[in-house]
Amino acid sequence: MSGNFSINPEHDSEVRSIVTKYSIIMVIVLAIILMLLSTRGRVESFSPESMIGTIEKTAELFIRERLLDEGESLQRVEVVKSNYSTVEWGEYTYDATIQYRTLSREEILFTRWKYSVKNDSLDLLTYSREDGSPEEP
């Protein structure tokens, strides 16, 4: 009874190689599944209105860096009107009217933003002043 169970080192090496390959594939597939489930949870629990404060803060940085003259200081920035729409699952566009004040002037800025819940990224797509045409940043 004990005669046909000899161990073949070549066969054993082949089996280990196959097991290793499939283990690596299974780990990658599991990581992808976990990532997708995590993204799905973020997208489903996301509230589009929650981005208005972030848009206001990001607009303030943009105004300071790109729209103010040298030495000019920003007094106030406020989102006075905003609308959002769903582009696709987990992506939204926002049209926000932003009012800002310096010591010498008060201006209105019309902006369009894109937010991706999946990537957690907010991008300014276009902006325009009251009397101008839309520009890309």
pLDDT in tens, 56-70: 999 999 999 999 988
Q: Which residue has the tokens 């957690």?
A: 120
Contact yes or no for 88/12 (Cβ under 8 A): no
Listed range (3-12, 66-75, 117-126) with the worst mean pLDDT: 3-12
- Report the pLDDT value the prediction gives residue 116, as an integer from 0 to 100: 94
Give 116's strand partners. 91, 121
Mean local confidence (pLDDT), 74-92: 95
Confidence of residue 45 (pLDDT cuts 50, 70, 90): confident
Cα Rg of the chain, angstroms: 27
Please report the beta strands in 35-105, taking only residues with DSSP state E, as ranges in sequence order: 74-88, 91-102
Per-residue pLDDT band for 39 (boundaries 50, 70, 90) equals low
Q: Are 94 and 84 a contacting pair, CB within 8 Å? A: yes
Cβ proximity of 100 and 113 under 8 Å:
no
